[in-house]
Amino acid sequence: MTFSSVTFLFMLLPATFILYAVIRNNSARNVILAAASLIFYAFGEPVAVMIMIISIILNYLFGLGAAGKKWDKLSVLLAVILNIGLLIAYKYTGFFVEIFNGITGLSVPVPQIRLPIGISFFTFQGLSYVIDVYRDKKNVQKSLFSVLLYISFFPQLIAGPIVRYSDIADRLREREFSLERITRGLCRFIFGLAKKVLIANQMGFLADQVFGFAPGQLSTGTAWIGAVTYTLQIFFDFSGYSDMAIGLGCVFGFDFRENFDYPFISSSIQEFWRRWHISLSTWFKEYVYIPLGGNRKGKVRTTANKLIVFFLTGLWHGANFTFIVWGMLHGLCQMLETYQIVPTKKKWFRPIGHIYTLVIVIVGFVIFRADSLAQGFGVIGAMFWPTAGAAAASSEILSCVSPLSILAFAFAIVLSTPVFRLLRQKVAETKHATAYNYAAYAGSMLLFTLSVLSLVSSKYNPFIYFRF
């Protein structure tokens, strides 16, 4: 089930909200949220829900062990083995077998294992919980049910943001449910829904047309269309989902941290990663980079630690060399920036830095999107080495460009900058603040209507991060 499905929007969410509003007891409300979360996940993953529940139970037990003194280190080790082991078993077994076959020349059958949706997110949350308990014993949760709700809570279950237990521990016990939070949360949810349905889907359709052709058939123009539209698709798809998750959390009394902060205005790759997928970047910083030594042991060690983190970041996204190369590209650029080979700290470089960062990000996402490295480098070649491509391919791709997609592209460019945030801040300080709020509510209703109409009239509604 997805947030943008009719089943969720008009059945599960309203039913959950009504029950939650009618029942005032917080413990009973937690039961409602847990039940809704399990139904939400089991709707498309009836077998995988048992894997998640078993994982939660074991992480709960490891947390209890990590809270003691005798078995704390062993508990953390077992938690690492469990969570990383689950990822390897379900996500990377086939990939490793293919590598083994390529190295040895053998033909070991490649297992076809169905990847449980969201496994990369709920395993990271379970592991972070146990490690946080080990670091500070006061973080332990004696209630299995509370740990289950924390990990399985449906707004952030299948595509993040990755939430640390300490961030919501107090809210599991007591939280606010008010008209102001409901209104604010629903507006944020609708904004995210519109970003996903009205912008990401439009960009994704064009990107799919481009990547559906062999690189040799692409002209320079069509290759750039595919690269830019996919970059916008993945941003508005994932940031839209994060907006929906944050909005739903707000409705039910939880405050999730922001996951995106206008990454396309960055003037360096280091800044880009402070703004892109913030919860994942923070996770790797807290649980990999700092334990490796962080930046405390000189530039060489710092560079090595960053490259390790970006190798793992790429691998986390999927079992394909395209993701690894994507991660290492960003790691390499960070290394060049650390040594100031790319002079990002110079004031004169900042305007150039915006262009440099956008080019690296777009090129990187071409590799990220490609089915193979050969396809990725082929599309990049078409982007930078002028070619006419195949006339038939260009004609077919350009025929897919409609007034609606052009309008979506224009809004995508505007919404990639903090224009509306700055406008809202300025209006909030004036006498027009109330009128602005009413206009925002009316705009939200219009966006919701348009989003639903789009969902009903189109079958194209992918969520990119579901496969991670």
Active site residues: 317
Contact 234, 209 (CB under 8 A): no
Rounded CA gap, 391 and 11, in Å?
47
The contacts of residue 356 (CB under 8 Å, 6+ apart) are 267, 268, 342
Rounded CA gap, 15 and 29, in Å?
13
Using alpha carbons, list the distances in angstroms from residue 16 to 45, 219, 251, 347, 448: 20, 50, 11, 52, 19
Rounded CA gap, 445 and 209, in Å?
32
The contacts of residue 74 (CB under 8 Å, 6+ apart) are 65
Contact 238, 192 (CB under 8 A): no
Which of 387, 382, 404 is closest to 457 using CA atoms?
404
Rounded CA gap, 91 and 317, in Å?
10
Rounded CA gap, 22 and 20, in Å?
6
Rounded CA gap, 10 and 58, in Å?
34
**Which amino acid does the sequence have at 172?**
L
Using alpha carbons, list the distances in angstroms from residue 30 to 56, 152, 166, 415: 16, 12, 17, 35
Q: Residue 156 corresponds to which tokens in the numbers above? A: 């952030």
Contact 165, 126 (CB under 8 A): no
Contact 365, 234 (CB under 8 A): yes
Contact 243, 421 (CB under 8 A): no
The contacts of residue 299 (CB under 8 Å, 6+ apart) are 338, 339
Which of 189, 367, 167 is closest to 282 using CA atoms?
167
Rounded CA gap, 448 and 2, in Å?
16
Helices 119-135 and 48-66, packing angle to 10 deg: 10
